Amino acid sequence: KFTEIGARIPHGLLLVGPPGTGKTLLARAVAGEAGVQFLSISGSDFVEMYVGVGAGRVRDLFEQARKIAPAIVFIDEIDAVGRKRGSGLGGGHDEKEQTLNQLLVEMDGFTHSEGVIVLAATNRPDILDPALLRPGRFDRQIHVGRPDVKGREEILKVHAKDKKLDASVNLKTVARSTAGFTGADLSNLLNEAAILAARANRPVLTMEDMNEALMKITAGPAKKSRVQTRKDLKETAVHEAGHAVAMYNLPTHDPVRQITIVPRGQSLGATWYLPKDDSANLTRNEMYEQIVSLLGGRVAEALFLGDVSVGASNDIDRATKLAKDMVARYGMCEKLGTVSYLDGGEVFIGRDYQTTKSYSEKVAGTIDDEIRALIDRAYEQCKQILTDNSDKLHKVVDFLLEKETMTGEQFEAIMQGREVGDASATSMFDGFEDGTEDPKTTEE
C-alpha cells in the first residue's frame, strides 16, 4: 500500500541511544514481529588488517540479503566502520574507509523491490560520516533512551520472572529509586541482589538484598574488614558531614538520603542524595549550588581538621567540570556573554590534534579567570555555611563515628535540633513511596 500511494519505503533505520538501553534487542524484536529473515553482524567484523577484506564482506552480506529477501540486515556498533572519513592518520584510502565506501555504495544501490532494510545501532551518532546519515541511506534515526519510571518497573518485572522474591520486595519502589538506570543496569541490579541472597543462604530475594545491591552498584562493595585508624575515620566523617550540611542549606539542592563512613569500592565514605524529580534540565543556580556542595568535603577538612587530604580530588574534578561547562559551554557567564566556546565533539587523532582553538588566547585567559572566580565564590559560600552550622556538623560527625551510617531522617533531625532516633533500617529505598527518584552520591 505504501508503493501504491507513491511512498518510498525507508532503506535504513539507525537506532541511537546510550549503552544498555536495548537497541540490539529492539532490532531482534522487529525481525521477529516482521517474520522475515534476519542477518546480524557487528561493525568490527568488517574491519581486517588486509586491504579489501572489509569491503568484500560488505558485498557478500548484501548479496546474501538480496537472495533471501525480504530480509533485515542489522549492523551492531556501526560506528566501528562508519566513522567520519579523514579522521585517522592513515590517509584517505585506509581499510576502514574502503569498507565504509562499499557500505555507502550497497545502501545507495537498492531498488524498491529488493525488500531489504538495514537496521544499525550506535551510541555515538556524532562520529558517523554524514554521507551515511543522508536520506536514501539511513532515512530515520530512532532514539532509544533510558526508561522512565514506568518503563523501569516493567523492565524489572521481566527480569524478576525467574527470581524468587520476598513479599517485601516492591518493584515499583525500586523503579522510583533507579532513575537513569538502563535496562542492562536494572538486570544487573536484580542479578546482584540474587547473588547476595544466595551468599546469605536465603531462599528468596529480599528488599535488604536490593538495597545492598543498589549501593554496591552505585558506590562499590562494602569493605568492612578494612582496618582504619580513629584518625582516618574522623577525617572521612568530617568530609562527608561537610557535604551533607552544605547540601541541607542550599535551597535548590536535593535532600540527603544516607551518609556512611563504611568504605565502598575506591571511596572511604559516601553521601547519597535524592533528586526531587526525574528532570535533567539544570538551571544556572542549580549547577552553582552543586559546585558548593561538592566543595563541602574539602572546606570541612580545612575548617575543622586544619589540613586537607586527597579525598576531595574527585569532588574537585567534578566541581571544576561544572564550572567550565557553565562558563564555556552554556553561556552562563556575564563577562563572556551567551557564547559557547566548547564544540563538544570527539577528539580524533589526526584531525583535532592538527586544529587550533576557535577562540583567542585572550578569551582563553578570561575563561580560566571566570572558572577560578566561580569556584572561589562557591568555596567562600560553602565556608560560611559550614561555619554557621559547625555545632550541627560536629553532631553529625560524632554520630557517624559511633554508628558508621546515618539515614536521611536522622540527619534531618540533627539539622532541625530534634532528638535522633534509632533507625530500624538504613535502606536506600525508604521514603520512595512519594515518587522521589534516583539516589546519587558524593564520594570521598
DSSP string, 188-225: HHHHHHHHHHHHTT-SSB-HHHHHHHHHHHHH--B-TT
Using alpha carbons, select from 405, 400, 398 the residue that is nearest to residue 424: 405
Question: Cβ neighbours of residue 272 under 8 Å, at least 6 residues apart?
Answer: 218, 256, 257, 258, 259, 428, 439, 440, 441
Residue in the block written with cell 537513569: 180
Name residues whose C-beta falls within 8 Å of residue 48's C-beta, 6 or more positions apart in sequence. 54, 95
Confirm whether 346 is a catalytic residue. no
User: Is the bond leading into 70 cis (omega within 30 degrees of zero)?
Assistant: yes
Cell match 536484580: residue? 190
d(CA 107, CA 100): 11
Please tell me the distance from the alpha carbon of residue 216 to that of residue 379, in angstroms, as a whole number.
Answer: 31
Residue type, 63: E
Tell me which of 97, 208, 212, 240 is the catalytic residue. 240
Rounded to the nearest 5°, which phi and psi values hold at 118? -100, 125
Q: What are the start-end ranges of the H helices in 39-182?
A: 53-67, 95-108, 130-133, 149-159, 171-176
Q: Is the alpha carbon torsion for 394, 397, 403, 406 positive or negative?
A: positive
Active site residues: 240
